[in-house]
A and B are shown apart, each in its own frame.
Chain A
Amino acid sequence: MTSLVFENVWGNPSAPEVAKVQQLWRRHGVLKRDDVIESRSRQIVFVVANRDGEVGGVSTARPIQVPFLNNNFFYEFRCFVVPSFRSPGLDSLLALKTKDFLETLPESGSKYKGIVMLIENEVLKKQRTKAVWPATGMVFAGYTSQGHHIRIGYFKGARI
């Protein structure tokens, strides 16, 4: 496996990696609108790059209030890894690192209870059906009205 670097750019929108992520999103058609790219850029947590500095993955976190979880606040986790960077376990590692980092933020556990992710990818929905994902501990909590899977990972000591 190629050696990868996980760069934390949370709270640092002027980091050089952010511009590379924006290009990545545009190139792969993940995000198209400039305003969406701009706002999502402020939610970047980790950028994954190879030793040559080529960016191939990113995780983001957005504070959200979740009505069905007693209106508690969570971070909505998203990630994207380009096909050439995809390798077994990389998405889980990215999720785990992101959750572990978010857990260290001052209001985590008190205001923010954990991370929530929506599984929209049809392949993932068919292949990653374990009720609890072993690598990350993300627990299945139900389906959205669109049939996407909802998974939750609570921070240590979180109370609802």
Chain B
Amino acid sequence: MSVPLSQMWTVATYVIRQRLAGRKRYPLVLMLEPLFRCNLACAGCGKIQYPAQILRKNLSVEKCLEAVDECGAPMVSIPGGEPLMYPEIDRLVAELVKRKKYVYLCTNAILLKEKLHLFKPSKYLSFSVHMDGLREEHDEAVCRDGVYDQAVPAIQEALRRGFRVTTNTTLFDGASPLRVREFFDEMMRVGVEGMMMSPGYSYSKAPDQEHFLRRSRTNQLFSDILSNPKRGWRFNQSPLFLRFLMGKHDYECTPWGNPTYNLFGWQRPCYLLQDGYAATFKELMETTPWENYGRKSGNEKCQDCMVHCGFEATAVDHTFSSVRGFIETAVVSVTGKL
């Protein structure tokens, strides 16, 4: 596993503090969406289908920082939209780094090379580059030829300048385990710090409705990919989450683990579902009927979901809530065997 020690320590102490304080629900990663505009229109994405006046809008940096301070999560992920299209992305990131938040700036890397000069390398900042596979698979997933060949040199340039770079991969039905393994080899060769992956979520607004994974297929696919991991592979996510994807754990969703703040407010209940918006984080946490979400609730929208924004927080909590979970995480981290 490749999460830096300082980041692990920050997360571990944060989780332990929450547990000692008796907090049943606490956020781990704030999903901050300052805009919905994007320079791609990927088949599996349900985030950008809005009328023009919404796509033109940006959250102010001040609003973003209010949300960050109110939420208190130690990590902030900036998806979107394409965050590098946000006019004040440099100021936003600088303010987050100043607050010692671990920032994952999620980008398709089309603009990365030309915008790199806006940022300073920091242990708190990681470019999380959307890469859905090798050239053929990635360009197909993002519905545009040539994007892979833009992203890889941008990643290399960012690494050359001393930035942390990770990849973020969404897998859909029909993915070839062999090709995914080759992709992991290639990303390691390119030199990224670590890789993140997740099955796609069946957004009702996404143009491609045919290729979302069902639960048993998800377990099979990830088992095929990960059951014999190469020693050189590095993953920037909880090993227990990866084991969950392989079917070795039966976790319940933690929708409040990755709360989402965007142009409309605090999104209920999670990053993927839009059941309404709260004006404040406190209101989100206190008035969302959490019992209506997750697999056990019977909510049909949650039945096949195994996405990291719902389950990685569960896996992290498992690590720090039991000796068994801690030992399992430690063993997997040391041996690399999933």
Do A and B form a real pair? no
